[in-house]
């Protein structure tokens, strides 16, 4: 299974389909990463807050595939925001993983009420310069947070990883990303643990016409728009199915049908109020 990669402003590139690992513990993450690697995944998404970085790295080692063939993302939560706390945060994450670097380091949430994300980002720039993070980005940032970063710092985030699915299309954020060369990464691309994105009849009808599963239709919706998606599954059949979305196409009518599923501009988690 060949998965396209998308160039990042760091000069590296990110495989368009990756494995989400929340809420797996270390043992589950290790086992799932081995299965995912066998299925063809080379992009794994974790976070310090998930508590499974060590398990993800263990799975990569157990897979027998070289570390440098994987694209590994981790994220630092609020405990590592402010001043240079991210230096210690990344050091501890790398020790847990026994890796020299991560491919992508993200600020997990903006926490705007704390107002520490600008100083955190300056520290991320240092971590990028010294090579411990090969690309740096953010997660759950709204346009106002991105504008503040742009006004006060010098490096544009390579990625903004946001909750995104047909019901939560985040059009305003995506337009900003496109204008500034930021790659959009979709978390909960299938709608999360309730997999709400798979149920609508529009998705079911497209799936039966194309002889694909609803999950494949939804993931195709992501990748055909140039989004990176990180669906989570522990099931080998689903892992393989979720990666197999690069050999069919949705039509303009399919996109129009799926646009009716949008919950509008304010759907989804509000990172001015939520985060950790």
For ligand A2P, the closer CB: 45 or 53: 45
Min dist CB 268 to ligand A2P, Å, is 12
DSSP SS3 for 60: helix
Greatest CA separation for the chain:
54
19 touches 44 (CB < 8 A): yes
Min dist CB 119 to ligand A2P, Å, is 31
Catalytic residue among 41, 50, 128, 176: 50
Residues near ligand A2P (CB under 6 A) = 20, 188-193, 195, 198, 213, 215, 231-235, 238, 241-242
Task: Report how far apart, in Å, the C-alpha atoms of 104 and of each of 27, 117, 135, 138, 249 are.
Answer: 23, 17, 5, 10, 29
Min dist CB 10 to ligand A2P, Å, is 25
For ligand A2P, the closer CB: 146 or 197: 197
137 touches 104 (CB < 8 A): yes
Is 176 considered catalytic here? no
Closest Cα partner for 245 from 29, 35, 40? 40
Min dist CB 194 to ligand A2P, Å, is 8
SS3 string of 81-113? Answer: CCCCHHHHHHHHHHHHHCCCCECEEEECCCCCC
Min dist CB 223 to ligand A2P, Å, is 14
DSSP SS3 for 75: strand
For ligand A2P, the closer CB: 19 or 102: 19
For ligand A2P, the closer CB: 114 or 276: 276
The secondary structure of 156-184 as a DSSP string is --SEEEEE-BTTB--HHHHHHHHHHTPEE
In angstroms, rounded to a whole number, what is the distance separating the alpha carbons of residues 145 and 120? 13
Which residues have a catalytic role annotated? 50
């Amino acid at each position: 299974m060949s998965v396209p990669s998308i160039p990042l402003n760091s000069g590296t590139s990110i495989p368009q389909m990756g494995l989400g690992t929340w809420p797996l513990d270390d043992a589950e993450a290790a086992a799932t990463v081995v299965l995912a690697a066998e299925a063809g995944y080379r992009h794994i998404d974790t976070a310090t807050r998930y508590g499974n970085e060590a398990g993800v790295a263990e799975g990569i080692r157990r897979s027998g595939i070289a570390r440098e063939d994987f694209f590994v993302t981790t994220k630092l939560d609020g405990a590592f925001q402010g001043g240079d706390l991210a230096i210690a945060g990344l050091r501890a994450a790398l020790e847990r993983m026994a890796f020299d670097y991560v491919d992508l380091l993200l600020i997990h949430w903006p926490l705007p009420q704390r107002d520490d994300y600008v100083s955190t980002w300056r520290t991320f720039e240092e971590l990028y310069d010294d090579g411990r993070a090969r690309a740096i980005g953010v997660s759950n940032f709204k346009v106002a947070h991105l504008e503040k970063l742009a006004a006060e710092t010098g490096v544009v985030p390579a990625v903004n990883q946001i909750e995104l699915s047909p019901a939560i299309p985040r059009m305003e954020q995506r337009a900003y990303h496109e204008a500034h060369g930021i790659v959009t990464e979709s978390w909960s691309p299938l709608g999360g643990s309730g997999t709400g994105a798979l149920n609508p009849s529009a998705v079911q009808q497209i799936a039966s016409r194309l002889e694909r599963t609803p999950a494949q239709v939804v993931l195709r919706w992501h990748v055909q728009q140039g989004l990176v998606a990180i669906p989570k599954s522990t099931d080998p059949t689903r892992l393989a199915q979720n990666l197999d979305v690069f050999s069919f196409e949705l039509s303009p009518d399919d996109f129009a049908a799926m646009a009716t599923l949008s919950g509008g501009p304010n759907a989804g988690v509000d990172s001015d109020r939520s985060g950790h």
